[in-house]
Structure 1
């Protein structure tokens, strides 16, 4: 199944190969831009179906995605599971649940992401939701790239182990291939 997901990511231009500057300041030879696959509803359904299969017996009240990357993923997972879909967003650099969205204390929620690379936005979202009384039961994503334990289960369609390099020792830099910053998050300060 994961080969089929990778094929869809490549066909839609979501799986990129080259020389990328990540928001962490590190470099990589691969990058996944899930917005490219999520623009096609039928493909979004296909790449998230394996994730939904993993979640079908998990007790979930709400699906919540951090803006921007998790909004469409949250919607599609919520649609397939028949659950309410919400999103968090940053206000003054802090992840919050806004727009009149509500958490009932004790709500069991799954965080929805497009790609989990470092787990930063997932952990910020978890902290924001727990302050409201939610029980975060895990994160669901199309692509898992994170290698560290982020303190919750990860349900994913494909696990990609794309090498990441410190900028001072990046072997791709020696090829003179242009360095591109494809992501939406500001650079780590």
Structure 2
């Protein structure tokens, strides 16, 4: 019987993880670093970001994951971080808060990330597949400007996963995630 890796085992992409680390190294620069992972849906952008965060969790003082599927989900995702910053349990009644309360809590999180001595964090924006720079929704219903949700300070590290190549304009470094090459494995033939 062959040893088959567990489903949650991350294989391959070592060079991609190393490339991300070269971009986001906390000691490399005090300035903000933004890595944009773009490519086809299902290619592994989210899984790469998860694996990177797990592998480098000790290199950052905080790691936050936010869902950017649309602007409302992004705001809720940021707002859900606020209780953790106050050393409170995650607020399970987030759904019952009004839009203004959620926006205020999201802004609290961005302010916390912008604090001068708080520069060693990683913020992952996942699934930013709708983008409209500025306040114009020129690319379709639901598009928004992700830059509005960047912390105001010029420090920290950000990963953006997206299908949109044009988001590379926001990055200090971006790259197209390619398919993993298929290898013939005699154990599976």
RCO comparison, higher one (Cα < 8 Å, 6+): 2
Say whether the fold is shared (TM-score over 0.5).
no
Output the TM-score relative to the length of structure 2: 0.27
Q: Which structure: greater strand fraction?
A: 1
Q: Which has the larger radius of gyration?
A: 2
Q: Which structure: greater helix fraction?
A: 2
